Amino acid sequence: MAVLLDNTSPYRPIESWIYDRVIAPAVLELVAPVDKLVLDILRNGAKILEVGCGGGHLAEHIAQRRSDVSLWGVDLSPEQIRHSEKRCRAWQSRLTFVQGTALDLKFPDGSFDAVISVASVKHWPDKIQGLRECVRVLSPKGVLNIVEADRGCHLDDARAFVDKWRIAGVFRSIALFWFRTYVAGQSIDLDEARTMLEALDLSEQRVERIPGTPGLLMFGQKEGSPAEQHL
């Protein structure tokens, strides 16, 4: 598959299908920090941007958790955008999906109360540029919440994650090798995450492993005066 050779390339239809049906439900196990640090504190009527929305699984989760927020999802793959629109049709009045790149978000400065991204950063050709774009479109006091596979994850956590994939048990050893080599193996580690976050204009920065998972969290809040705070 093309994404194995170049993880910055858009997902092709077969890759989108595999991710959507086999892997994405397990990825939702990583979203506890999104619930705690974003959805539980956002003001009523908040605007959220999801960068790398995939097939819309997280958008669906957010729509079900918060009936008052609006969400825009961006993904490089047109196939994933189609999956998102189909999956989230029931909430189309407040969920919008557009094809685009994290490196050049087509939104004005300060457009969103929160920017989130799950399992997408490793696919960005220029991770710092993508993160700077995420911060640019945040409003003052807006929060950035990034969840990504940890290249230094523990084997037991990786195995537990792969065990949740929708595949027959006989294939899980192969899937675990694939995940550690081509997913986590091409992702970032804690030190890289800290270095990237330190390059951004954010306060309250946090970088940490997500317990019991092969994921890591990058979190920060955009600078701004209290009078501008929306959260």
Average pLDDT, the chain: 91
91-113: pLDDT as tens digits: 999 999 999 999 999 999 999 99
DSSP per-residue string spanning 72-113: EEEES-HHHHHHHHHHTGGGTTTEEEEE--TTS--S-TT-EE
Is the pLDDT at 203 greater than 50? The verdict is yes
pTM above 0.85, yes or no: yes
| pLDDT of res. 6 | 59
| pLDDT of res. 211 | 94
Residues paired with 64 in a beta bridge: none
Is the pLDDT at 230 greater than 80? The verdict is no
128-164: pLDDT as tens digits: 999 999 999 999 999 999 999 999 999 999 999 999 9
Specify the length of the chain in residues: 231
